Amino acid sequence: MLTRTRGLIFLALATSCAQPVSWMTVRDPAEQAFSIDVPRGWKAQGGVLRKGPLDPRVHVDMTSPDGRIAMRVGDWAVPPFTVPSGQMERLGFTEGKVYAPGHPPTATIVARYRTGAEFAPFYARARFSKICQAFEPKSIKAIDPVFSAAREGPMSTTAGEAIYRCVQDGHEKMAYVYAETALYQANGMANWRMGSLLSFLAPKEQADATYRLIFQSAASFTENPQWHLMQARITAENAAAALKIFHQTLQETQARYQQWSSMARQGQSFSDVLNGHTLTVDPSTGQQREVWTGTGSTRWIDGLGNVASSNLSPGTSFRALQDVGR
C-alpha cells in the first residue's frame, strides 16, 4: 500500500512469509529515486523526503514480522552541516544555529565536523537511549568506509561504528550504528553530511544475523539514473557529467557486494564484542588466545596464564598481550 502524508512518502509492505531468508525489492514512489532490497515478510516504510531543492534525504525503516527487530537505512532527521568559521561565529552563526547560504538557499546546521567514529555514538544515543532503560557502550571505533572510498584532502570520507547494550522492557538487546561522514572544503568554507547511515535494535541472540541483514540490504541500494540526472540539473551540473558520475556509482554498487563480503568476514569481530572476547597474541611466544575483553585498554598475562584487563600493568610479573584483528 502506498500513501502520501504531509508530503512524506511511505512504503507499507507486508507479506505472509515469516522467514527473512529471501528478499524483495522496493522503490521510492515519491520521486522514483532509488530501489533497495528488504527481507521478505518484513514491513518497510520510507522513501525520499526533500527538505529543499538541494537536500533530498533517504530514510527506510524495516521491521521484522514479530516486531522484535528494527533496522534503518538513512534518516530524514539528519541535516547537512556547515563547519563554523571565525567569520560565521562573529556574525552569530555559532554551533547549533541554522545557516542557509546559496541560491536557492540550502538550510544547514552549524556544527564542527564529526568523523564517522564520532558521529556513530552521537546518533546511537539520540536514537536509542530514550527507549532503553539501560544503555551501555560495548564498542566504539573507526573503521574503513564500506560504501564510499576513503578520501583525504578537499573531499574526505571517514567511517565508524558503535555497539551498545540496551535493556528494553526487561529484555536484553543490542543497538548498532554504522556511519560514514563526508567533508567538503572549498573557498574557505567547509560542509559535511552523512554519506551512509545504518542502524538497528535487535535481541542479543539475533544481533549477529541482523548485522548481516542490514549490510546486505544497504549494499543493494541503487539510485535511479533518471532521478540522478534530474538532481544533477537541479544542482546546475550538466547531464554528461552526471551520467559519468552515475556510471561510477554503478561500479561502486557492484563493489558494495564485494565490500559486503568483507564485512561478513569481519562478523567474527562483532560476535567477539557481543560475547566480551578479544583475540590476542603473546609477543614472547607467538601464541594466540581468546581472552576476556574487560574494561581496560590492554590485556595482560603472567607466567601462570592469569589474564587481566587494565589501562596500566597489574604487576611486574605481567606482560602485555597484543590484540589481533580477525
pLDDT band at 17 (very low <50, low <70, confident <90, very high): very low
Q: Greater confidence, 158 or 8? A: 158
Residue 291 sits in the same domain as residue 215: no
Residue 216 sits in the same domain as residue 294: no
Tell me the backbone φ, ψ of residue 112, rounded to 5 degrees. Answer: -60, 155
Mean pLDDT of 110-123: 96
Which of 271, 292, 313 is at the close of a domain?
A: 271
Amino acid 252: pLDDT: 62
**Mean pLDDT, the chain, integer:** 82
Q: Please give the grid coordinates belonging to residue 147.
A: 560504501
Domain that holds residue 16: 2-271
Residue 221 sits in the same domain as residue 297: no
User: Model-level pTM greater than 0.85?
Assistant: no
For residues 6 and 281, give the distance between their C-alpha atoms in angstroms, rounded to a whole number.
57
Closest residue by Cα to residue 210 from 150, 262, 257, 163:
163
Q: What's at 46, amino acid-wise? A: G
Which of 271, 290, 310 is at the close of a domain?
A: 271
What's the CA dihedral at 306, 307, 313, 318 to 10 degrees? Answer: 40
Residue 22 sits in the same domain as residue 145: yes
Residue 108 sits in the same domain as residue 226: yes
Residue 201 sits in the same domain as residue 241: yes
Residue 246 has pLDDT above 80, yes or no: no
Residue 266 sits in the same domain as residue 280: no
Q: Greater confidence, 110 or 150? A: 110
Residue 168 sits in the same domain as residue 316: no
Which of 271, 286, 301 is at the close of a domain?
A: 271
Residue 23 sits in the same domain as residue 93: yes
Residue 123 sits in the same domain as residue 172: yes
Residue 289 sits in the same domain as residue 245: no
Residue 220 sits in the same domain as residue 292: no
Amino acid 312: pLDDT: 86
Diameter of the chain measured on Cα atoms: 70
pLDDT band at 36 (very low <50, low <70, confident <90, very high): very high
| Count of structural domains within the chain | 2
* Strand intervals (E) in 33-97: 34-39, 43-50, 56-63, 70-74, 81-82
Amino acid 20: pLDDT: 42
